Amino acid sequence: SSNQMWGGRFAAGPDAIMEAINASIGFDKRMAAQDIAGSRAHAAMLAAQGIVTPSDADAMREGLLTVLSEIETGQFAFSTALEDIHMNVEARLKEVIGEPAGRLHTGRSRNDQVATDFRLWVRDQLDAAASGLEALMRALLAQAEAGADWVMPGFTHLQTAQPVTWGHHMMAYVEMFARDLSRVQDARRRMNECPLGAAALAGTSFPIDREMTAKALGFDRPMANSLDAVSDRDFALEFLSVASISAMHLSRMAEELVIWSSAQFRFVTLSDRFSTGSSIMPQKKNPDAAELIRAKIGRIFGANVALMTVMKGLPLAYSKDMQEDKEQVFDAADNWMLALAAMEGMVKDMTANTSVLESAASAGFSTATDLADWLVRTLDLPFREAHHVTGSLVAMAEKKGCDLPDLSLGDMQSVHAAITADVFEVLGVHNSVASRTSYGGTAPVRVREQIARWKEALA
């Protein structure tokens, strides 16, 4: 049989394969609530403008709520023959309210309808991501506050570099996720314009009020160009770009947790609640959540590349290619939210092994820079010479199989005669971190300022 929406033009119905490649209802039913909100706003506007009667609009608006509750309670029978969520809802509305349902699509097309629905959906996800990022930042802040004074090794090239504080390390992640949050807010501000009323591509001859529908749906304004309104998917691409960068941050942090929780590092103990065991090796406690978070960037960035590729060759205005936008965004959104929540849970639950962190902090000649700085400050050596003297002392310690503080004053003086006993004070890791008081540095006093600043910002 031919289609009930456009059957007038068609003698035959679609081939089964045509239906299979064409239908989007299998996934776009996730936008049912947004579709119905858009249609209810449109119906109210049609009545306000005298395009339909108030009683028809009331019937539409009531009927749409009935359809929504059928969907929400799982009583709705979705039909592939009806292609997508838009036609499924409209067809059911017709069954519920009869003739007035046929007036709902006046001055509107599925092209502006889907763009509106999808924007509403993405906007909700940006808000969810903002909450998820804030929750994760709070968990990191709590860790930073507990361990503002704990020392640990700081790395470059994953080789011991200089001692840092646990709080400083946690706050580095707060800064990263704060940038993600700010990108989310930017994207939301830019995307919050309403395509509804662009109709198929050219606008409509009906006297619609686009300001009214835009406002009713929480948009800042209607989109200014109807061709652009139905063909733009920048908002989805920005969502995927922001998600990709954030997933990259999550992945880096997850990698650190994998390393830190290994038996070789033992910097942290992950909670049982966020670990798994092995079916064969009884001793195992694996950081699977961290590993999966580390992996999520693959599908999220994949979605970004996929949609960029879909969009790159499309002429104005709408093309059916754009139906491929949703699954990418849905999958990326689901996995980004999951990764944020899992990271928050892991951070909340993890225990820093402070004694392991402290002994690791002093290993690897981590205070060699402090020694060189002391030579500059106390003996007025040029930094390059101080670097050389310290290098010789490190080589000596390495040969003796000890750390820098284990060298005797005599050892020190054999390399540079003017060295005095108070050099040993700067070789301790606590003195080392306490001395790094430059803005943004690792000194507990500086880290506490940053913690206070972010706590206030997130309050």
Binding residues (CB under 6 A) for ligand ARG: these are 24, 28, 84, 110-111, 114, 318, 320, 322-323
Distance CA 254, CA 302 (A): 19
Nearest approach, Cβ of 199 to ligand ARG (angstroms)? Answer: 11
Give the SS3 label for residue 162: strand
Identity of the residue, 30 or 455, whose beta carbon is nearer to ligand ARG in the bound complex: 30
Nearest approach, Cβ of 197 to ligand ARG (angstroms)? Answer: 15
CA atoms within 13 A on the CB side of 174: 25
Give the SS3 label for residue 5: coil
Identity of the residue, 136 or 333, whose beta carbon is nearer to ligand ARG in the bound complex: 333
Q: Write phi, then psi, for 103 (nearest 5 degrees).
A: -95, -10
Distance CA 228, CA 198 (A): 9
User: How many other CB atoms are there within 10 angstroms of residue 330's CB atom?
Assistant: 17
Distance CA 72, CA 22 (A): 25
Nearest approach, Cβ of 82 to ligand ARG (angstroms)? Answer: 11
Q: Which of 1, 157, 408, 438 is catalytic?
A: 157
Nearest approach, Cβ of 356 to ligand ARG (angstroms)? Answer: 53
Nearest approach, Cβ of 12 to ligand ARG (angstroms)? Answer: 18
Nearest approach, Cβ of 244 to ligand ARG (angstroms)? Answer: 23
Which residues lie below 8 Å from residue 356, measured CB to CB, with a gap of 6+?
265, 266, 267
Q: How far is CA 361 from CA 58, 268, 364, in A?
A: 70, 14, 8
Identity of the residue, 201 or 341, whose beta carbon is nearer to ligand ARG in the bound complex: 201
Identity of the residue, 189 or 320, whose beta carbon is nearer to ligand ARG in the bound complex: 320
Nearest approach, Cβ of 15 to ligand ARG (angstroms)? Answer: 17
Nearest approach, Cβ of 320 to ligand ARG (angstroms)? Answer: 6
Distance CA 276, CA 288 (A): 6
Identity of the residue, 30 or 215, whose beta carbon is nearer to ligand ARG in the bound complex: 30
Owner of token pair 């001859």: 205
Taking phi first (over 0 means left), then psi (-120 to 50 degrees means alpha), and beta for anything else, what does residue 91 get?
Answer: alpha
Q: Which of 69, 182, 278, 359 is catalytic?
A: 278
Identity of the residue, 111 or 366, whose beta carbon is nearer to ligand ARG in the bound complex: 111
Owner of token pair 């808000």: 127
Q: What angle do CA 107, 71, 111 make, to 5 degrees?
A: 25
162, β-bridge pairs = 154
Q: Residue 261 catalytic? A: no
Nearest approach, Cβ of 317 to ligand ARG (angstroms)? Answer: 10
Distance CA 439, CA 453 (A): 14
Structure tokens at 441: 């540095």
Identity of the residue, 110 or 168, whose beta carbon is nearer to ligand ARG in the bound complex: 110
* Nearest of 307, 339, 344, 304 to residue 324 by alpha carbon: 307
Identity of the residue, 284 or 320, whose beta carbon is nearer to ligand ARG in the bound complex: 320
Do 151 and 358 form a contact (C-beta atoms < 8 A)? yes
Distance CA 299, CA 376 (A): 51
Q: How far is CA 358 from CA 129, 133, 180, 425, 432, in A?
A: 35, 30, 31, 17, 12
Q: Residue 157 catalytic? A: yes
Identity of the residue, 101 or 114, whose beta carbon is nearer to ligand ARG in the bound complex: 114
Q: Write phi, then psi, for 163 (nearest 5 degrees).
A: -65, 145
Structure tokens at 288: 């699977």
User: How many other CB atoms are there within 10 angstroms of residue 256's CB atom?
Assistant: 18
Structure tokens at 386: 């101080």
Residues acting as catalytic residues: 157, 278
